[in-house]
Amino acid sequence: MAVETGTYTNGRRNGKSAAAFRTISEVADDLEVPPHVLRFWETKFTQVRPLKRGGGRRYYRPEDVSLLRRIRELLYADGYTIKGVQKLLRDGSVKPSQPDTTDAVEAEEVEHTVAADSENSAESAGLSPQTRNELCEVLNELVVLKKKLTDVRR
């Protein structure tokens, strides 16, 4: 039985897998910061590298969300300055909290599959970048659905 709290179901936003990529709006809502703050942090913290799709839409990986959560904590709760957080990240003193390893491995596999398929078959098939991006999004959704089916069967 799913326990709902706000927009979360079983600890997941909108029922998405922990391995699912998040939009800038979803991440901004989760971290309780405006989207422009996330875009600003991307310019200050080079470790944050969301995927950018057609039209410049950003999709954040679970690792990016975890790192952004840690950056927010350091800035807002611990009182660090941006330069202070940059130094901590550069020195390796601060690591983002790790997402669930199963989901992280699955997300990494999707990313490698998408990258390999994009380079090899997309060019030979004559796919436009927009079509290739749409297919990548479909693939990501299929992985999320597969995970949900696996969870239901357990």
Amino acid at 110: V
CA–CA distance, 107 with 101 (Å, rounded to integer): 10
Which of 3.40.50.300, 1.10.3720.10, 3.30.1330.50, 1.10.1660.10 is the CATH number of 4-153?
1.10.1660.10
Q: Long-range pairs for 33-42 at CB < 8 Å and ≥24 separation? A: 33/72, 38/68, 41/68, 41/71
Q: Which of 78-92, 110-124, 135-149 has the highest mean pLDDT?
A: 78-92
Query: In this predicted model, which residue has the larger pLDDT, 61 or 132?
Result: 61
Q: Which two tokens stand for residue 74?
A: 């350091």
Q: pLDDT digit string (tens) for 9-35? A: 444 455 677 788 999 999 999 999 999
| Residues above pLDDT 90, as percent of the chain | 41
Confidence (pLDDT) at 77: 92
CA–CA distance, 35 with 27 (Å, rounded to integer): 8
Q: Which two tokens stand for residue 115?
A: 């990258």
The strand order across the sheet containing 22-23 reads 22-23, 58-60, 51-52
Confidence (pLDDT) at 72: 96
CA–CA distance, 58 with 60 (Å, rounded to integer): 6
Q: pLDDT digit string (tens) for 77-107? A: 999 999 999 999 998 887 655 544 444 455 5
The strand pair at 22-23 and 12-13 is best described as: unpaired
User: Do the Cβ atoms of 99 and 147 come closer than 8 Å?
Assistant: no
- For the chain, the structural domain boundaries read 4-153
Rounded mean pLDDT of the chain? Answer: 76
Confidence (pLDDT) at 87: 93
pTM: 0.55
Query: In this predicted model, which residue has the larger pLDDT, 140 or 122?
Result: 140
The strand order across the sheet containing 8-9 reads 4-5, 8-9, 12-13
Amino acid at 29: D
**pLDDT over 60 (residue 138):** yes
